[in-house]
Amino acid sequence: MAGSRHIGTQGARYTHYTHGQEPAVLASHGRRTAENSAAYLLPYLSPGMSVLDVGCGTGTITLDLAEAVAPGDAEAFTSGKVVGIDASDEPLQIARENAAARGDQRTQFQRGNIMALDYEASTFDVVHAHQVLQHLDDPVGALAEMIRVCKPGGLVAARDADYGGMFWSPELPQLAKWRELYCKIARRNGGEPDAARFMRKWASEAVTRAGHSAGTAHPTSGSQITLSSSSWIYATSEATAAWGQSQAARVSGPSFRGQATELGTTEAETDAIAESWRAWGESPDATFAIPHVELLIRV
């Protein structure tokens, strides 16, 4: 794909990040690994590949991907680089600290915008995004931009959740209120919390948009789209207690509370949702499942 023109910026903006960058959010993101969040991608990675991780957050997935393409040390990494980008400085600082703790000196963490990636066309072998598309008002443009910077024959990979498909037990009424409220907030911010169910549609449109933007040769016309699914499940006493406390902290934090208040939710109602999360986490039979759809585009 020749040229370096950004193609994901057709009126799109970097949407407000609904979760915010509060300690409870960053701590939760810090528990993500390539094994529990990008297992569908790992079989396609090999030493020497270059990787861009878009919306890298605290960098735990990025650093795992780096280990897959440059095992041991930087000497094995000869044909490219591993870069994680995020729109916010707070998670990037933690990502750099995580890299230092691992002794990783090869992975770069930079400020960046998925809607206008600061790279030439055909730069990376793999372009990855985890739980990013759901927060954007133009996910098609974002995927098209990811395709632009991916080398011919490379992979664009994305995984996103579906809030409407989440289920839990016991079915406490306030948790249903939480989902309804979160989805209202996310959509007001321009996102789509049920992103997983739209991944195939977004991918098809992104391939078309990327091809049109690249010129009449339509270099993306042979792109192959593959979808799979997996889920996170919290179903042990330790996992549910931690998830319940984490969600209670998020609900109680200024980001969610402030946005809920703007939609007419009272302080008492927000407090009740947080307390319901704690109660759910303490239930001996608690279960919470989050479905995901995984997307691979072979460019």
- Judge whether residue 13 has pLDDT over 50: no
Residue 201 in domain:
yes
For 139-169, the pLDDT digits (tens) are 999 999 999 999 999 999 999 999 999 999 9
Task: Specify if 7 maps to a domain.
Answer: no
pLDDT for the residue numbered 217: 42
Please report whether residue 10 resides in a domain.
no
Q: Domain for residue 28, yes or no?
A: yes
* pLDDT, tens digit, 9 for 90 and up, residues 281-299: 999 999 999 999 999 999 9
Q: What CA–CA distance (Å, rounded) separates 6 from 91? A: 25
Mean of pLDDT over the chain: 89
223: confidence class by pLDDT, cuts 50, 70, 90: confident
Structural domain of 51: 23-298
Percentage of the chain surpassing pLDDT 90?
80
Number of domains in the chain: 1
Number of H helices and E strands in the chain, helices first, is 10, 8
Note the pLDDT of residue 87: 93
Q: Has residue 149 been placed in a domain?
A: yes
What is the pLDDT confidence band of residue 57, given thresholds at 50, 70 and 90? very high
pTM: 0.90
Measured CA to CA, the distance from residue 255 to residue 158 in angstroms comes to 26
Nearest to 85, CA basis, from 43, 45, 145, 37: 145
Do the Cβ atoms of 50 and 127 come closer than 8 Å?
no
pLDDT of residue 3: 47
CATH of the domain at 244: 3.40.50.150
Q: Is the pLDDT of residue 271 over 90?
A: yes
CB 221 within 8 Å of CB 211 = yes
pLDDT at 70: 85
- Is residue 4 situated within a structural domain? no
Q: Is residue 1 part of a domain?
A: no
From first CA to last CA, the distance across the chain in angstroms is 10
In a domain, 239, yes or no: yes
Beta strands in 114-260 (DSSP E): 124-130, 150-161, 167-169, 224-234
Q: How far apart are CA 66 and CA 222, in angstroms?
A: 28
Rounded CA-CA distance 245/229 in Å is 27
